[in-house]
Structure 1
Amino acid sequence: MKLPFRLLPAALLLAAFANASFAQTAPDAEEPAAKPSALDAELFYELLLGEMTARGDEPAAGFQLVMNAARKTNDPALYQRAVEIAFQSRNGDAALQAARAWRQAHPDSREANRYVLQILLALNRVTESAEPLRADIALAAPKDRNVALGLVPRLYSRVSDKKLAANVVEQALADAIAQPATGAAAWTTIGRVRLAAGDTASALDAARRAQAVDARSDYPALLALELMDPKVPQAEPLVRKYLEGKPLPELRLGYARALLEAQRVGEARYQLQQVVTDKPELAEAWLALGTLQAQENQLAPAETSLKRYVQIAQAQRSGEDRTRGLAQAYMGLAQIAEKRRDFAGATAWLDKIDNTQDLMGAQLRRASILAAQGKLEEGRKLIRALPERGPNDARLKLSAEVQLLRDRKQYRAAYDLLGRAVAKDARDVDLMYDQAMLAEKLNDVPAMERLLRQVIAIRPDYHHAYNALGYSLADRGQRLPEAKQLIQKAIELAPNDPFISDSLGWVEFRMGNKAEALRILEAAYKLRPDADIAAHLGEVLWSNGQRDRAQSVWREGLLLSPDNEALQETFKRLRVKP
């Protein structure tokens, strides 16, 4: 571990020299007398010799000379210099000796104690670190103790035995746990080191204990947010309980992002709207909300949100996050303009992107604009001409060209393009899956099933393949029990995916289980308002005689995606006009 050493010797020697030279000179009447130096001529010479020796071929001898000077003067700077010399000579034991001597001479020095703690951890002497860790928290000013507790997991992050580290930290923080002012932060710290040790259940227990100490504290909610995962559903109630009070908008934003990752779009949208209401100057919330609104085809609100982000971000300090965020906003605004067929406006937004990391994304969007204007081949040429600066650029270009062809319903060309790529790497399940979806568009069911079963054979946990095959069979009314079994397998692998729930609802409907289908589809649509799910939910409602409600759901779906194929096919087959 690299310690935050300072380069002190030159300044230290100059100061000592000044004191030694002028200690016997009478001060001017107008100036206070200089503080006499603890260095006499002999000790000054010893220190100078120690520095020269340490920089030469005998660092151990230099270390001893500087340590001798430190003990005689009791000067913290000399103790620190001794630690530096020991580390420069890669002598951890000597560094620990110097740090402990410094701490013994200055027992109230948090800096000296912190050096002891860091050196022990660097030497992987974890068990011995309990006492200096306890002291570090005690020596911190009361107002700084929760911050000090929050830094503990980072201190122990490089320890090899994470379980031992968790035990030592819990032992050291016994006093902090017992104090109301530090209990929540201390339990949260214990939870984090438990999580680092892979003990999720104990980390969750620590988060609960922390919140029991102080339900308004940010610390346990942050830990619970980190624990949020389909495998740890018990963590989310802790976050929601915290949100009942006056939460940090940044933490609510983190919760919204976790919801988006879990495909819980409606809940995420609500949380983002709360954030921009509570803290309208928080730029990142506007960017997340605008991006989500654009994905849901809410073009006017999305444009407002993204422009608000641009306004706030441009007023902030420059930095990589700001630059990448602005690029994302510009591309979102360009996509909105493209959907409105305002191609000049879309190009104008893309022209604002000037950082090299996002130039490829901007060019891919330009290709989409060309294709939307009927210049498909020009768009494809633009994609193929893009330079490949990184290892993933070739894959990105392939995906963009395939998507360009899909959007223009050039399914055969896209299928063949992916086929050539799969031939080069027969184990690339993502490419194989995409090719299977194009086979489905071409109504080549045997090719689709063959490709999806190859994907499952290579990656048995690839839930998309189970879902796609099961849904395709169900949609055609074929082998329904097998279709249901495939979809249920997908749900086992991805239990919170609303699109897989939509497939299950659809197969239940095809099997005649209308009540169960309605229950599943309503839950899926609530979780993720989507045009495909709206098409299926509306049809189930229509078949049940709830035609007004079916029409309402379909209209919502059309607002989300006016050209959605599933909706249009449903209207045509049922001969309805929403």
Structure 2
Amino acid sequence: MLPAPRPNPAAKASSPLRYPSLLAAALSLLISACTQQQTQVPPEAALQQDTLPAPAVEKETAARAFPIDTFYTLLVAEVAGNREQYDVALANYFHQAERTQDAGVAARATRIARFLNARRAALRSAKLWAELEPEDPEAQLAATAELTLAGDLQTALVHAEKALELGGDAPLQSLAATAVSNRELTEQVKPDFLRLAEKYPDNGEVVLAYAMMLRAAEQYAQALTLVRRVQEQHPDLLDAPLLETHLLVDQDRRKEALQLLEKLVAIHPRESRLRLQYARLLIREDLALAQQQFAELVKQNPNDGNLILSLALIRYETDHIDEAKPLLERLLTLEQHQSAAHFYLAGIAEKEKDVPAAVAHYRKVEPGNDYVEAITRGTELLAATGQNEENGKWFAELRRRHPQQQEHFYLMEAELLRKNEHYQQALELVDQALEDHSDNGRLIYTQALLNDKLGNGAAFEQGMRKLLDRDPDNATILNALGYKLIEDESRHDEALQLISKALELRPDDPAIIDSMGWIQYRLGNHSEAVKYLQDALEKLPDHEIAAHLGEVLWVQGNREKAMAVWQQGLKNNPQSKIIPAAMKRLQINESLEQHASDS
């Protein structure tokens, strides 16, 4: 994990109108220009300057007269800005910056664009500003920041170096953090960072940026030397010890990193970056202490959703549900990480056996990391409680919201119905889905399997043949059809042919190996059957394979081993109906429990 960069110059300002206003200068210029043109300025325009906040710093600006239409456009922009109509202000300033080639207008356009996070406009106006005022370090910094965000690091470095030459600072750590996300890019710009570090050896920001490049190249020892040198030169620059802790972790020196962070946190208890790094490292070492650190972070930053969520998750994972719940509810109040909050509140409701509350929370999870899991768990809860109608409404809503994923949601709903043995309802749903998605292979396959469950053998085979016509080398379909045909003694040769082809295509698939063992058994080749079935069971300890192998062993007379195989199969899957069915078919009255006690 990269160290937290220093404040990003591209971050939003609280308001673009905090920057120096050009209106007063423009107004005086216009009065001069309009006097020459014998044009009267409207009184309301002359008074408009009083509505703008006083600038913190005013630069001396060389007077130049704007054309009348330019002045009025800028005046409209200022009024719009004071009314918080920043998009109008940006449009006017951006247009006039390119039209007038005026540095002040370009600067104003840049600041408004960055406040609005209008990246393309900010990039163009910042580049123009830097071009028009090459000796202004602020202009060079703005261009550096926007070019970094745009991914043009080579050009960004040119402006960063210019800012340094002018006596300003440069966000080189942010630049380095962007570079190290791409190994190829790192190699391209690493020599530039080295050159700057050699040129400015006493500039902590520059040297730390180069240390970050060394870290990306896994040159940890060299990076650590530079970082410690920066700490000696700039003891108040906390980026240096923070980067040192990352380098120590990179070298598996976690204990040293924790000791350093413990010391730093004691010295700088209000520095959230240090405490956060300490808390993160503690998660693997001491979860209780990590929880204490996150609690202190939340206390210091009560509205920071990231910290609140981290603390809530630790408490959730450690089963401190009563402490996690109010934190998650606070996220909803703050309108931060709402999907994650709903997801874990749903989990808490599940633990509390409150199905309606759990489902309600799961339904409020939006697309993202937890979305599919929320749908799966929520619909499973409804299905388990027999609320198929509610599930139907939910899935119908999902299909409306995500029309490109309709087939997926049809299949999810059908699978839930199948798992709960609502085969006819599932089949009707899939039939409905195929009306609009007739070529969807997964839907056709599911339809065939449901027909099989309902005893519609001909419909099952028809679906499988349709799929094989499209894809004759599909091992899954070959195996499914071949396995089904084993039930018909008159079609054993056909079943063997299909399964053999499937096994040739996927020789290590335990399901297909099981099918081959079963057809060999049905053909009377018991020794061959045992060989295949034992191989399949070793690859996949499945209760159906265990049922097959046990039956063959029993018929061979190897009854002790058969009982052991069945017993293990039931241990792996206590709910199995296949193993008891096999024993019943063989008229075995002896219970597995009795056999286990006798053994």
Equivalent residue number for residue 455 of structure 1: 467
- Over residues 264-301 of structure 1, what are the superposed CA-to-partner deviations in whole Å (9 max), with x where a residue is unaligned? xxxxxxxxxxx999758699999999xxxxxxxxxxxx
One-letter amino acid of the structure 2 residue matched with residue 39 of structure 1: E
CA, structure 1 residues 517+285, in 2 after alignment: closer, same or farther (shift >3 Å)? farther
CA, structure 1 residues 92+175, in 2 after alignment: closer, same or farther (shift >3 Å)? closer
Cα deviation, residue 468, structure 1: 3.5
1:322 aligns with 2:343: no
Partners of 1:565 and 1:459 in 2: how far apart?
33
SS where residue 340 of structure 2 aligns?
helix
- Over residues 173-204 of structure 1, what are the superposed CA-to-partner deviations in whole Å (9 max), with x where a residue is unaligned? 44569999889975998xxxxxxxxxxxxxxx
One-letter amino acid of the structure 1 residue matched with residue 347 of structure 2: A
Confirm or deny: 8 A CA contact 1:176 1:183 kept in the other structure. yes
Runs of 5+ consecutive residues of structure 2 not aligned to the other structure: 1-9, 29-54, 76-91, 198-206, 225-249, 256-282, 295-307, 521-527, 594-599
- Given the alignment, which residue of 172, 180, 190 partners 2:189? 172
Confirm or deny: 8 A CA contact 2:481 2:498 kept in the other structure. no
Equivalent residue number for residue 132 of structure 1: 156
Equivalent residue number for residue 419 of structure 1: 431
Equivalent residue number for residue 450 of structure 2: 438
Confirm or deny: 8 A CA contact 1:418 1:431 kept in the other structure. yes
- Over residues 6-63 of structure 1, what are the superposed CA-to-partner deviations in whole Å (9 max), with x where a residue is unaligned? 664674138988xx9xxxxxxxxxxxxx9996527xx367699998366378977666
Partners of 2:488 and 2:177 in 1: how far apart?
56
One-letter amino acid of the structure 2 residue matched with residue 329 of structure 1: G
- Given the alignment, which residue of 510, 515, 521 partners 1:507? 515
Confirm or deny: 8 A CA contact 2:417 2:426 kept in the other structure. yes
Equivalent residue number for residue 364 of structure 2: 355
CA, structure 1 residues 95+388, in 2 after alignment: closer, same or farther (shift >3 Å)? same
1:524 aligns with 2:540: yes
CA, structure 1 residues 324+133, in 2 after alignment: closer, same or farther (shift >3 Å)? farther
SS where residue 427 of structure 1 aligns?
coil
Partners of 2:218 and 2:376 in 1: how far apart?
43
1:39 aligns with 2:68: no
- Given the alignment, which residue of 133, 137, 141 partners 1:106? 137
Q: Where do 1:536-547 residues align within 5 Å? A: 546=561
Cα deviation, residue 483, structure 1: 1.3
- Give the aligned length: 421
Partners of 1:285 and 1:469 in 2: how far apart?
50
1:52 aligns with 2:64: no
Confirm or deny: 8 A CA contact 2:444 2:463 kept in the other structure. yes
One-letter amino acid of the structure 2 residue matched with residue 355 of structure 1: K
TM-score (norm 2): 0.49
One-letter amino acid of the structure 2 residue matched with residue 130 of structure 1: Q
Partners of 1:476 and 1:80 in 2: how far apart?
78
CA, structure 1 residues 169+436, in 2 after alignment: closer, same or farther (shift >3 Å)? same
Cα deviation, residue 326, structure 1: 2.8
Confirm or deny: 8 A CA contact 2:516 2:532 kept in the other structure. yes
One-letter amino acid of the structure 2 residue matched with residue 325 of structure 1: F
SS where residue 13 of structure 1 aligns?
coil
CA, structure 1 residues 188+402, in 2 after alignment: closer, same or farther (shift >3 Å)? farther
Runs of 5+ consecutive residues of structure 1 not aligned to the other structure: 21-33, 71-75, 157-165, 190-209, 218-241, 248-274, 290-303, 338-344, 372-378, 492-499
Partners of 2:444 and 2:163 in 1: how far apart?
60
TM-score (norm 1): 0.50
Q: Where do 1:336-485 residues align within 5 Å? A: 346=355, 350=359, 355=364, 364=379, 368-369=383-384, 371=386, 379-383=387-391, 388-392=396-400, 402-403=414-415, 406-407=418-419, 409-412=421-424, 414-458=426-470, 465=477, 468-469=480-481, 471-472=483-484, 478=492, 479-485=495-501
One-letter amino acid of the structure 2 residue matched with residue 482 of structure 1: L
Confirm or deny: 8 A CA contact 1:52 1:62 kept in the other structure. no
One-letter amino acid of the structure 1 residue matched with residue 178 of structure 2: L
Name the Cα RMSD after superposition: 6.4
Confirm or deny: 8 A CA contact 1:323 1:355 kept in the other structure. no
SS where residue 21 of structure 2 aligns?
helix
Partners of 2:458 and 2:325 in 1: how far apart?
51
Confirm or deny: 8 A CA contact 2:467 2:477 kept in the other structure. yes
One-letter amino acid of the structure 2 residue matched with residue 504 of structure 1: I
The percentage of aligned residue pairs carrying the same residue is: 14
Confirm or deny: 8 A CA contact 1:505 1:517 kept in the other structure. yes
Equivalent residue number for residue 556 of structure 1: 571
Cα deviation, residue 418, structure 1: 3.1
One-letter amino acid of the structure 1 residue matched with residue 60 of structure 2: L
Cα deviation, residue 503, structure 1: 0.3
- Over residues 121-166 of structure 1, what are the superposed CA-to-partner deviations in whole Å (9 max), with x where a residue is unaligned? 6xxxx6xx53435876999999986764443488x9xxxxxxxxx9
SS where residue 550 of structure 1 aligns?
helix
Q: Which one has the largest radius of gyration?
A: 2
Confirm or deny: 8 A CA contact 1:402 1:418 kept in the other structure. yes
SS where residue 391 of structure 1 aligns?
helix
Confirm or deny: 8 A CA contact 1:83 1:95 kept in the other structure. no
Equivalent residue number for residue 592 of structure 2: 577
